[in-house]
Amino acid sequence: MAMFPPFPDAPDTRAPRYALYYLPEPGSPLAEFGARWLGRDCATGEMLAQPGVPGLAPETLADITASARNYGFHATLKAPFHLKAGQTEDSLRDAMRARAASLEAFDVGLALRDLGGFLALMMAPSDHRMTELAAVCVREFEPFRAALADRDLERRRKANLSSQQDTLLQRWGYPYVMEEFRFHMTLSKRLSDGPDRAAVIAALESLTAEVTARPARIDAISLVKQDSRDAPFVLVERFLFAG
């Protein structure tokens, strides 16, 4: 197994965490769908009433979407990280603004899919431009990322990572990057077969029909922030592409 030297700075795990997301344009049908389904708008922090799902109690839907609600309706481009010593939120924002100005917008198709038991919107078909955008975000903003704390490293390794995924975890702080990247906008926790899963799928098939009928516009990268580990992620700034 390949090994990488540790960074000299250990993160303060009480400090805020940041992540780079794809967030649909606020107010767009896709953004509105995701915020309503999860019960929280990541762009504003506002809590929202979730839709009724036939055959499913409201508290069950709240539980099924709790983890996704904390992160917000998004696709991860660079996974949550603490800032490296010497870096600031302002310097990260400046770098993201400059990089976004060099990128061009594009469209991708979306469809409701199962990802290891999780329900999510995923690309249909796959598009190399999104994979390349995610790789750019992982690679070019790496100088801002503090090394993972030991507890986070061990937590990730509990997911039965492959050798390649473990190598990526050590190098980039997250196992599902580069060739392991899968664009997805999570809509539920992992669900076992049964009536709850069937009810959620039936509801999502209806609710996503309109937003998946047209391509999603990939026209910005977004910086989000979590003030503490028990706080939700909230949008800091959305950086529009120039083209």
Write out the H or E segment, with its range, that includes residue 120. strand 118-123
pLDDT bin (cut points 50, 70, 90) of residue 2 is very low
Instruction: Tell me the per-residue pLDDT of 63-86, one tens digit each, with 9 for 90 and over.
Output: 999 999 999 999 999 999 999 999
Tokens of 32: 């509105």
Choose between 151 and 235: higher pLDDT: 235
CA distances to 136, 141, 239 from 95, in Å: 12, 8, 10
Instruction: Tell me the per-residue pLDDT of 173-226, one tens digit each, with 9 for 90 and over.
Output: 999 999 999 999 999 999 999 999 999 999 999 999 999 999 999 999 999 999
Residue pointed to by tokens 């090994």: 3
Instruction: Tell me the per-residue pLDDT of 24-74, one tens digit each, with 9 for 90 and over.
Output: 999 999 999 999 999 999 999 999 999 999 999 999 999 999 999 999 999
Mean predicted lDDT score pLDDT of the chain: 94
End-to-end CA distance of the chain: 41
Q: Is the pLDDT of residue 148 over 70?
A: yes
Q: Which of 237, 106, 129 is nearest to 183 (CA)?
A: 129
Domains of the chain: 17-131+184-240 (3.90.1140)
- Asked if 19 and 79 count as a contact pair (C-beta separation under 8 A), the reply is yes
Q: What is the pTM of this model?
A: 0.92
Neighbours of 163 (CB within 10 A): 9
